[in-house]
């Protein structure tokens, strides 16, 4: 049986993308899988009794070494802010390519804590910073120094000791350009080195908290229980900076979604589902409920989604146990149809993720296809005709062509780059200044304008002639020819409309990262947790790939 890939007009809607969940394709899971055989070590740990100083952690295999260099500094309470607009942090980190020399560490000590205003070199691969969850960190120090383990309920509620507030890579602030390292087999999956940084930062937080507790009360202090460590992750605060990324990298976006859609298609095409796979699917599904019941948020928007997800999942599990016969042919295809008919988007995408759990043989090969050589598709095929371009637009953008941009609510916002932080922001074009400096992120509106502009050109006329007369539409002409080859490369929605929810764009990206427990703090920024439940570096050699459902929280 041949199952069709899902329609991009359905999958690429913002509300659907904003309902995606982590899966076996997620980058933090594929990172752990790739690096499980690497040799981990803590190479340097020079912190004072308050936990300030330098530490270095590394992963090594053959001649390749990646080293995380951590700088922990004293931070005044008043200066602590998670937002990207902050200028000082409790700790700053960089992932160095190779073994850093003393000279490298001295150089980086001056630059890394400054983050965006510091300068890195081609020897550094990623850059980040993080703040303590002071309440949790201090509680853990107090308990450990008294020889007792901390309150698991409190830890479980927060989920981490530190929150990162941005992770940079790919040439930012002088970091190595991707072309320098892209041929390394171990980083074929996207964001792998960003994931490595976050993972090693997590270990640093445990080592630091143990170190501070030990120094506070050397005779009595105990180390943080390893099971408790495993059930802590790293928090992250993410704002709008992440949203334009998925618009600015269309072929990469396609490859992520295409991998997910291909996995789903192949699973739905399985004629006879093996007993062990049924067991694993059900097992992961049931265990995963803990991740939902422990999902805390004050956001009403997210609370509604969680409530609906939990309701739908209970109905689904009931259906699975009482009414569904897994021994019938193409069982997962039937499950998919049932879920599409009976559940909301949040639950549909949850089940899609869960279906992948038994199928390493399907997902493993897809993981390596999730990067993109974007340069290859940059040139516009100017010899093509107006008729061909119109056909592409009408076929691939049928949903956005129906939007009426003369209505104020559909043209309400504009994306711009802020002057103080050079970060993407969203503003109301009718109430705030700056719409003349709008970023090219209103793709739906500009595609519609392109479609209208084509009407006065002859069908047989070529694109070069159109571009000579319409230079302002060049960016969307390029995109239209990209979507012809990459159908999942565009968000099929209006990203500047009144009803658009920007955090849906963040959620899409973060789900591919592998984040859990999305906690929107407004419609423009949110908090998440990464690596909660993940094995510690020392446990990687024999870890369980389904760790994400084994969290105690």
Partner 1 sequence: MKSLSEIETVSKRASRAAGFSWGIAEEIGKNIRLMEMFGINGIRNLNYYFKIKNKKNFEQVNSISSENKIKKLEFCPIASGLSFLDQVRSLESFGEIKFEKIAYPLLFVPFISRASEVIGKKLQLTIDNKFFLLNYNNSIYSNSFNDGIVEIGNNVLVKFCKNTDSFEEKEWDELYKLSENTFVEENESSKQVGAGAGLTDND
What residue ranges bind partner 1 (CB under 8 A)?
A: 121-122, 170-179, 375, 378-380, 382-383, 417, 439-440, 463-464, 467-468, 471-478
Q: How far is the CB of 506 from partner 1 (least distance, A)?
A: 21
Q: How far is the CB of 195 from partner 1 (least distance, A)?
A: 19
- Beta-carbon count within 10 A of 376 CB: 8
Q: Exposed, middle or buried: residue 322 (CB in 10 Å: 0-12, 13-18, 19+)?
A: exposed
Q: How far is the CB of 380 from partner 1 (least distance, A)?
A: 7
Beta strands in 48-123 (DSSP E): 53-61, 64-72, 91-97
Cα–Cα distances in angstroms (integers) from residue 541 to residues 40, 43, 193, 225, 306, in the given order: 10, 19, 19, 20, 34
Which residues are within 8 A (CB) of 219 and not within 5 positions of it... i.e. 6 or more apart?
A: none
Q: Of 348 and 467, which CB lies nearer to partner 1 in the complex structure?
A: 467
Position of tokens 């270095």?
56
From the list 221, 207, 224, 229, the residue with the least C-alpha distance to 47 is 207
Q: How far is the CB of 394 from partner 1 (least distance, A)?
A: 21
d(CA 330, CA 126): 44
Q: Of 378 and 431, which CB lies nearer to partner 1 in the complex structure?
A: 378
Which residues are within 8 A (CB) of 496 and not within 5 positions of it... i.e. 6 or more apart?
A: 410, 411, 412, 413, 414, 415, 429, 441, 442, 444, 445
Q: How far is the CB of 442 from partner 1 (least distance, A)?
A: 11
Q: Of 163 and 451, which CB lies nearer to partner 1 in the complex structure?
A: 451
Per DSSP, 242 falls in state G
CA torsion sign for 458, 464, 467, 468 is negative
Q: How far is the CB of 294 from partner 1 (least distance, A)?
A: 39
Q: Of 329 and 464, which CB lies nearer to partner 1 in the complex structure?
A: 464
Q: How far is the CB of 100 from partner 1 (least distance, A)?
A: 18
Q: Of 300 and 378, which CB lies nearer to partner 1 in the complex structure?
A: 378
Q: Exposed, middle or buried: residue 115 (CB in 10 Å: 0-12, 13-18, 19+)?
A: buried
SS3 labels along 320-343: HHHCCCCCCCCHHHHHHHHHHHHC
d(CA 127, CA 387): 47
Q: Of 44 and 467, which CB lies nearer to partner 1 in the complex structure?
A: 467
Read off the tokens for 532: 């909660």
Per DSSP, 158 falls in state H
Q: How far is the CB of 471 from partner 1 (least distance, A)?
A: 5
Q: Of 379 and 542, which CB lies nearer to partner 1 in the complex structure?
A: 379
Q: Of 118 and 174, which CB lies nearer to partner 1 in the complex structure?
A: 174
Q: How far is the CB of 470 from partner 1 (least distance, A)?
A: 9
Which residues are within 8 A (CB) of 428 and not within 5 positions of it... i.e. 6 or more apart?
A: 412, 413
Q: Of 90 and 423, which CB lies nearer to partner 1 in the complex structure?
A: 423
Read off the tokens for 41: 């070590």
Q: How far is the CB of 489 from partner 1 (least distance, A)?
A: 16
Q: Of 75 and 120, which CB lies nearer to partner 1 in the complex structure?
A: 120
């Amino acid at each position: 049986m041949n199952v069709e890939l899902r329609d991009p007009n359905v999958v690429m809607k913002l509300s659907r993308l904003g309902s995606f969940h982590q899966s076996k394709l997620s980058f933090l899971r594929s990172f752990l899988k790739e690096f499980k055989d690497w040799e981990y070590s803590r190479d340097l740990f020079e912190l004072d009794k308050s936990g300030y100083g330098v530490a270095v952690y590394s992963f090594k295999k053959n001649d390749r070494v990646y080293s995380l260099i951590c700088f922990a500094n004293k931070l005044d309470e008043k200066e602590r802010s998670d937002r990207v607009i902050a200028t000082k942090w409790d700790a700053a980190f960089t992932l160095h390519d190779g073994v850093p020399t003393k000279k490298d560490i001295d150089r980086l000590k001056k630059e890394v804590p400054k983050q965006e205003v510091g300068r890195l070199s081609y020897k550094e691969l990623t850059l980040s910073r993080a703040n303590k969850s002071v309440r949790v960190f201090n509680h853990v120090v107090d308990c450990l120094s008294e020889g007792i383990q901390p309150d698991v309920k409190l830890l479980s509620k927060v989920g981490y000791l530190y929150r990162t507030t941005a992770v940079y890579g790919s040439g930012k602030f002088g970091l190595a350009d991707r072309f320098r390292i892209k041929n390394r087999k171990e980083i074929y999956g996207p964001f792998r080195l960003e994931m490595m940084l976050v993972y090693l930062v997590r270990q640093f937080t445990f080592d630091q908290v143990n170190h501070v507790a030990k120094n506070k009360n050397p005779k009595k202090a105990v180390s943080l229980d390893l099971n408790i460590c495993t059930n802590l992750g790293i928090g992250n605060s993410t704002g709008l900076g992440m949203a334009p990324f998925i618009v600015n990298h269309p072929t990469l976006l396609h490859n992520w979604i295409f991998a997910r859609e291909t996995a789903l298609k192949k699973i739905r095409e399985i004629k006879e589902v093996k007993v062990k796979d049924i067991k694993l699917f059900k097992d992961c599904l049931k265990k995963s409920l803990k991740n939902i019941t422990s999902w805390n948020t004050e956001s009403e928007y997210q609370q509604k989604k969680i409530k609906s997800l939990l309701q739908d999942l209970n109905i689904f599990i009931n259906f699975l146990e009482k009414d569904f016969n897994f021994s019938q042919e193409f069982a997962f295809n039937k499950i998919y149809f049932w879920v599409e008919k009976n559940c909301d988007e949040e639950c549909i995408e949850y089940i899609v993720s869960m279906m992948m759990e038994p199928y390493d043989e399907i997902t493993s090969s897809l993981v390596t296809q999730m990067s993109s050589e974007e340069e290859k598709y940059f040139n516009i095929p100017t010899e093509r005709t107006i008729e061909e371009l119109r056909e592409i637009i009408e076929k691939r953008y049928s949903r956005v062509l129906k939007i009426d941009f003369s209505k104020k609510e559909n043209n309400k916002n504009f994306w711009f780059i802020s002057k103080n932080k050079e970060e993407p922001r969203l503003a109301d074009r009718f109430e705030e200044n700056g719409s003349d400096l709008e970023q090219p992120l209103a793709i739906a509106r500009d595609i519609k304008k392109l479609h209208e502009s084509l009407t006065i050109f002859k069908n047989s006329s070529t694109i070069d002639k159109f571009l000579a007369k319409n230079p302002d539409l060049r960016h969307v002409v390029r995109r239209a020819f990209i979507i012809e080859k990459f159908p999942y490369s565009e968000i099929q929605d209006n990203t500047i409309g009144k009803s658009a929810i920007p955090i849906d764009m963040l959620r899409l990206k973060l789900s591919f990262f592998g984040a859990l427990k999305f906690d929107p703090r407004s419609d423009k920024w949110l908090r998440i947790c990464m690596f909660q439940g993940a094995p510690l570096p020392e446990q990687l050699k024999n870890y369980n790939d389904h760790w994400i459902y084994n969290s105690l929280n």
